Amino acid sequence: MQRIRPAFRAGNNNPRGRFQRHRETMVDSRIGLSQLPRLRQEMRVNPRLYQAMDLLYMPLLDLQQHLKQELENNPFLDLTEEEEEELEEEETPEKPDDEIDWEEILLNGFDVGGRRAEYEEREYYRPTPASSRDLWDFLRDQVQLLPLNPRDLLLGEEIIGNIDREGFLSCSLEEVVESLNSYLSESEAGEDERTEPFTIEEVERLLAMIQLFEPSGVGARNLRECLLLQLRDREEIDGLAFRLVCDHFEELVNHRWSELSKEHGISPKAVQTAADEIAKLDPKPGLKHAEAGNDYVTPDLVVEKIDDQYYVFHNDTSLPRLKLSQSYREVARDKNQFTGDNKTFIAKKLNSAQWMIQAIEQRRQTMLKVMNFIVDRQREFFEKGVEHLKPLTLREVAEHIDMHESTVSRVTNGKYVQTPRGVYPLKFFFSSGLSTDYGEDVSARGIRVRIKKLVDDEDPRRPLTDQAIVDILKSEGVRIARRTVAKYRDQLGILSARMRKRV
Higher pLDDT, residue 16 or 50: 50
Domain boundaries, the chain: 45-124+296-430, 135-186+197-289, 431-503
CB 330 within 8 A of CB 350: no
Verify cis geometry, omega within 30 degrees of 0, for the bond prior to 147. no
CA distances from 140 to 136, 143, 151, 158, 210 (A): 6, 5, 15, 11, 10
Highest mean pLDDT among 88-97, 182-191, 422-431: 422-431
One-letter amino acid at 160 equals I
Share of the chain above pLDDT 90, in %: 26
pLDDT class of 116 with cuts at 50, 70, 90: very low
For position 25, what pLDDT does the model report? 47
DSSP state of 459: B
User: Quick check: helix, strand or coil at residue 215?
Assistant: coil
Give me the mean pLDDT over the 276-289 stretch: 91
- For residue 461, is pLDDT > 80? yes
Mean pLDDT within 249-257: 90
Per the model's pLDDT, the better-predicted residue between 5 and 358 turns out to be: 358
Same fold, 135-186+197-289 and 431-503: yes
Instruction: For 191-234, write each residue's pLDDT tens digit.
Output: 545 578 899 999 999 999 999 999 999 999 999 999 999 999 99
Q: Which range has the worst mean pLDDT, 330-334, 363-367, 398-402? A: 330-334
Within 10 angstroms of residue 174's Cβ, the number of other Cβ atoms is 10
Tally of CB atoms within 10 A around 86 = 7
Asked whether the predicted pLDDT for residue 37 surpasses 60, the reply is yes
431-441: average pLDDT: 67
Tell me: pLDDT of 2 over 70: no
What is the pLDDT at residue 435? 66
State the fold for domain 431-503: Arc Repressor Mutant, subunit A (1.10.10)
Asked if the model's pLDDT at residue 323 lies above 80, the reply is no
Sequence-distant contacts of 130-138: CB under 8 A, at least 24 apart:
132/291, 132/292, 133/289, 134/165, 134/289, 134/290, 134/291, 135/163, 135/165, 135/167, 135/218, 135/286, 135/288, 135/289, 135/290, 136/160, 136/161, 136/163, 138/214, 138/289
Range with the poorest average pLDDT among 80-84, 133-137, 292-296:
80-84
Q: How far is CA 259 from CA 164, 224, 462, in A?
A: 35, 19, 20
* Position 118 confidence tier, pLDDT thresholds 50, 70, 90: very low
Range with the lowest mean pLDDT among 47-56, 250-259, 356-365?
47-56
Collapsing DSSP to helix, strand or coil, 101 comes out as: coil
57 burial type by CB count under 10 A (0-12 exposed, 13-18 middle, 19+ buried):
middle
Say yes or no to pLDDT of 114 above 50. no
Residue 17 has pLDDT above 60, yes or no: no
* pLDDT value at residue 213: 94
pLDDT at 192: 46
Instruction: Please give the pLDDT value at position 124.
Output: 42
CB neighbour list of residue 14: distance below 8 Å, 6 or more residues apart = 8
- Provide the CA 467 distance to its chain's centre, in angstroms: 34
> What pLDDT digit, counting tens, does each position of 120-177 carry?
444 444 455 555 678 899 999 999 999 999 999 999 999 999 999 999 999 999 999 9
What percent of the chain stands above pLDDT 70?
A: 72
Residue of 264, 267, 265, 229 lying closest to 247 (CA atoms): 264
Mean pLDDT of 480-490: 90
Q: What is the CB-side half-sphere exposure of residue 443 using CA atoms within 13 A?
A: 20
pLDDT at 123: 45
Is residue 376 classed exposed, middle or buried when 0-12, 13-18 and 19+ CB atoms within 10 A define those classes?
exposed
Which pLDDT belongs to residue 5? 47
**Which candidate, 350, 348, 356, places its Cα nearest to that of 329?**
350
What is the residue-averaged pLDDT of the chain?
78
- Cα angle value 109/114/120 (rounded, 5°): 85
* This model's pTM is above 0.75: no
Distance CA 338, CA 324 (A): 20
- Quote the distance between the C-alpha of residue 180 and its chain's center: 37
Angle at 412 between CA 411 and CA 416, to 5 degrees: 115
Please spell the DSSP secondary structure of 71-98, one letter per residue: HHH-TTEEEPPHHHHTSPPPPPPPPPTT
CATH of 135-186+197-289, one of 3.40.309.10, 3.40.50.1220, 1.20.1250.20, 1.10.10.1330: 1.10.10.1330
Query: CB neighbours (10 Å) of residue 410?
Result: 23
For residue 24, give the amino acid letter: E
Query: Which residue, 50, 183, 182, is CA-closest to 105?
Result: 50
DSSP element (H, E) containing 314 = strand 309-314
Euclidean distance between CA atoms 377 and 367, whole angstroms: 15
Between 471 and 110, name the one with better pLDDT.
471
Contact present, 269 and 255 (Cβ < 8 Å): no
User: What is the reported pLDDT for 208?
Assistant: 94
Cβ–Cβ < 8 Å for 367, 295:
no
Residue 417, pLDDT above cutoff 80:
yes
* Burial environment of residue 280 by CB neighbours within 10 A (0 to 12, 13 to 18, 19 or more): exposed
Residue 210 pLDDT: 94
Closest alpha carbon to 59 in 405, 410, 431:
410
